[in-house]
Amino acid sequence: MILGIDVVFIHSKNPELMADWYQEKLGLEIENTTSDLSWQEFALSEKRFPTRFALDYGGSNPSLVEQQPIIISFKVADIHKAVNELEKRGVFFPGSQKVFDVGPTLVATFKDPEGNYLQISQRKE
């Protein structure tokens, strides 16, 4: 079911500074971004186990999920099928809407036993 891992740092101070630092210091190239820099996705090679690294500007009034500084998201091919399978295994997805459209990706958020937020995600074609 799991195809890869995405890691997203959620920050709310200075998205331009963050983008510059990751480009200048680590040599990462921005592959996908919004005009206001609220989402900055960096290009990484995708081989057998694809990964993605991104910065997400949570804004001045972040949700509970956005207050966690890092989100690990497990990539899946079909997010609705994965949500159904995980619910059968006892994973709880809060709220009446389980899958959210967040630009280039569909995500569903849940917690592990220690209260850490995790996501499954499906890239939109």
Per-residue 3-state assignment (H helix, E strand, C coil) for 53-87: EEEEECCCCCCCCCCCCEEEEEECCCHHHHHHHHH
Q: Is the pTM of this model over 0.75?
A: no
Domain with 43 in it: 4-123
Number of domains in the chain: 1
CATH of the domain at 53: 3.10.180.10
Question: What pLDDT does 49 receive?
Answer: 52
Model confidence pLDDT, tens digit, residues 53-99: 777 776 777 777 777 788 888 889 999 999 999 999 989 998 889 99
Q: Name the pairing type of β-strands 39-42 and 51-57.
A: antiparallel
Residue 10 pLDDT exceeds 70: yes
Confidence class for position 12, pLDDT limits 50, 70, 90: low
